[in-house]
A and B are shown apart, each in its own frame.
Chain A
Amino acid sequence: EDQVTQSPEALRLQEGESSSLNCSYTVSGLRGLFWYRQDPGKGPEFLFTLYSAGEEKEKERLKATLTKKESFLHITAPKPEDSATYLCAVRSSASKIIFGSGTRLSIRP
């Protein structure tokens, strides 16, 4: 059964304290792994798409990596404005899309 698990559920960091969020997945025929950021009361905002193991993408303080079983979202020297829920999703070869439950990230000044 296709499944996406994100950890931790919640993460509190001090401003400038780097860390990583994990997205573990099992899917039949990966057709893409997606990272989104969601602020309260808003729709998910697209961050990255990764398609194959070994691929990496960066945007400002965020870097996403992908292996055959999991993806990491690394956040370097975070700022309070990086506080949000980060969602991971996978798309299978059958075009099924499954979202994880998200990681709530809080950055203290």
Chain B
Amino acid sequence: DARVTQTPRDKVTEMGQEVTMRCQPILGHNTVFWYRQTMMQGLELLAYFRNRAPLDDSGMPKDRFSAEMPDATLATLKIQPSEPRDSAVYFCASGLDSSGEKTQYFGPGTRLLVL
């Protein structure tokens, strides 16, 4: 049963610290998405990769957030420096983006608390 995995599951840090979240997409999937979920805003798309190339990161605060895919099995989302308003659950999702299939499969999320 293939699944998206995310680490860490929970992270508590202090304001100003760097935070790195990792995601392992489902083997064979060619798209990776990063989302942020809060009670107030719901699910927001932060960044989107296809075949490891960033296609859209317009939802991401550029001054402190960065997303990369060093290889096909790893996606990272970094926040530097972190702020209390970054507290949220961060989800990674992967999919096989073909002409007829656009479905995404979500990981369990990283719950981030910035004090």
Chain A interface residues toward B at CB < 8 A = 31-32, 34, 36, 42-46, 49, 87, 89, 91, 95-102
- Further contacts, 18 of them, CB under 8 A, given A34-B103, A43-B107: A36-B106, A43-B91, A43-B106, A43-B108, A43-B109, A44-B43, A44-B91, A46-B104, A46-B106, A49-B101, A87-B43, A95-B48, A96-B56, A97-B33, A97-B48, A98-B45, A99-B43, A99-B45
Q: From A31, which residue of chain B is reached at the shortest CB distance?
A: B102
Contacts of A43 in B (CB 8 A): 4, 91, 93, 106-109
CB-CB under 8 A from B93, the residues of chain A are 43
A34 and B42 contact, CB distance less than 8 A: no
The 8 Å CB contact of A46, one of B44, B103, B108, is B103
We find that the number of chain B residues with CB closer than 8 angstroms to chain A is: 20
Q: Least Cβ distance of B30 to chain A in Å?
A: 13
Give Cα distance in the complex from A25 to B34, angstroms. 22
B residues near A (Cβ < 8 Å) are 4, 33, 42-45, 48, 55-56, 91, 93, 101-109
Highest count of chain A CB atoms <10 Å: which of B48, B104, B105, B109: B104
Please name all residues of chain A whose beta carbon is closer than 8 Å to the beta carbon of B103 when the two chains form the complex: 32, 34, 46, 49
Q: In the complex, which residues of chain B have a beta carbon less than 8 angstroms from the beta carbon of A97?
A: 33, 45, 48
